[in-house]
Amino acid sequence: MDISFDLLLNAIAAGLLLGGFYAAVTAGVSISFGMLDIVNIAHPAFVILGSYLAYFININFGVDPILVSILMLPVFYALGTAVYQVYYLSFEKRGQESLRGLAFFFGLLFVTEVTLILVFGVDYRYVEAAYIGPSIHIGLVDLPLRMLVPCVSALALFGAIELFITRTFAGRAIMAVSQDQLALQLMAADPIRIKRIAFGISIATAAVAGALLIIIQPVEPSVGREYIGRVFAICVLGGLGSMPGTLIAAMLLGIVESLTSTFYGPSWAPAVSFGFLLLTLAFRPAGLLGR
């Protein structure tokens, strides 16, 4: 099979756009799993919850999905802090996070999915917005706005998180917790409070990621499962909590998935992330930019 040049170019462009979106989905996991060491496998479920909220408000009140997600940020933040509080009191404090904490998040994932199925059914849902149809053409490359808008918003979100973590006091405190929790305690700071804030932020990003997801593709409750492999593959490859690493890894996975679905068919795409994850764990567990 000879690979035509513009097909290849388009696949790479689509992969970059997809990668930008993956970065937004992974940002939350990079904070919770990468920095706080909380294995929040329920994160994709919160993303899907964000999708459905965006869908519900968009269909009933005609509000733009991205605007909805920004309005939802405080709600998701509060939800995140509440989840962390339960997690801390029931598992982290007792040192049982490895087995029961994981089961707890798995239960959350499951309960969210089944609740969404009971409320909305298993039909695919989609949103309506002006930028979902058209696309821009630059030379040989097609850039559908349906992908471009989420990618740009995702990069904006990602940049905002990076700035927050490196420039603000609270952000640096989160970095400090991720480096040495005990040292922080010795300096009379409360690591639990900082972790609660950080976990709240990580869940808040799921609101935005969810809205972007439902712009890119129609959503049904079990779509989230495909993202578990993806986000953790990106997070591990990105070097657990390194924001620039996460962005690079997300772009890489986006490109590889896009090439796979262009040249082998879209039904193979979900397998790519797992291959990525296994190869990373086997050969480079410290991630791309890891020491």
Partner 1 sequence: MNRVNTAKFSLIAIAIGAAVMAFAHWFHVDYLFFASYTILQFIVLGTAWNILGGYCGYVNFGSAAFFAMGAYSSVFMHKFYPLPIPVLILIGAIVCGIAGLGMGYLTLRLRGSFFAIATLALAVVLQTLVVNWEYVGGSRGAYIIRPENLEFAGITINYIEYLFALMLALAVIALATARVIERSQLGFGFATIRDDELAAEACGVPTLRLKLIATTLSGAFMGMAGAPFPYYIGYLQPSSAFGLEYAVNSIAMPMIGGTTSWVGPLIGAILLGSAQQYATVTISSAVNLLIVGLMLVAFVIIAPNGLIGLVQEHLRARRKP
222: DSSP letter: G
CB of 108 to partner 1, least distance (A): 7
- The C-alpha atoms of residue 93 and residue 143 are separated, in whole angstroms, by 49
Binding of partner 1 by 107 (CB under 8 A): yes
Q: Which stretch binds partner 1 (CB under 8 A): 66-74, 105-113, 148-156, 187-195?
A: 105-113
In one letter, which amino acid is 251?
Answer: M
Least Cβ distance, residue 80 to partner 1 (angstroms):
17
DSSP codes joined into one string, 70-104 = HHHHHHHHHHHHHHHHHHIIIIITTT-IIIIIHHH
Output the smallest distance, CB 109 to partner 1, in A: 9
Q: Count other C-beta atoms under 10 Å from residue 243's C-beta.
A: 22
CB of 24 within 8 A of CB of 157? yes
**Binding-site string for partner 1 from residue 53 to residue 92, where x marks contact by CB under 8 A and - marks none:** ---------------------------------x---xx-
110 counts as binding partner 1 under rule CB under 8 A: yes
Binding residues for partner 1, total number by CB under 8 A: 45
Residues 196-235 within binding reach of partner 1 (CB under 8 A):
222, 225-226, 228-229, 232-233
CA 125, CA 221: separation in Å to the nearest integer? 9
Interface with partner 1, residue 181, by CB under 8 A: no
Amino acid residing at 272: V
CA distance 242 to 27: 10
106 is a contact residue toward partner 1 (CB under 8 A)? yes
Residue range at the interface with partner 1 (CB under 8 A); choices 146-154, 189-197, 243-251, 262-270: 262-270
What are the tokens at 59?
Answer: 């269909």
Residues 127 and 73: their CA atoms lie apart, in Å, by 19
CA nearest to 43, candidates 226, 186, 266, 255: 226
Q: Which of 3, 7, 117, 170 touches partner 1 (CB under 8 A)?
A: 117
Length of the chain, in residues: 291
User: Smaller CB distance to partner 1: residue 107 or 133?
Assistant: 107
Select 139 or 265, whichever has its Cβ closest to partner 1: 265
Q: Least separation, in Å, of the C-beta of 97 and partner 1?
A: 9
CB 208 within 8 A of CB 157: yes
Which residues, numbered 25-44, are part of the site for partner 1 (CB under 8 A)?
33, 39, 41
Helices and strands per DSSP (H, E), number in the chain: 11, 2
Amino acid at 257: E
Binding of partner 1 at residue 263 (CB under 8 A)? Answer: no
Chain residues binding partner 1 by CB under 8 A are 33, 39, 41, 86, 90-91, 94, 96, 98-100, 102-104, 106-108, 110-111, 113-115, 117-118, 222, 225-226, 228-229, 232-233, 236, 265, 267-268, 270-271, 273-275, 277-278, 281-282, 285
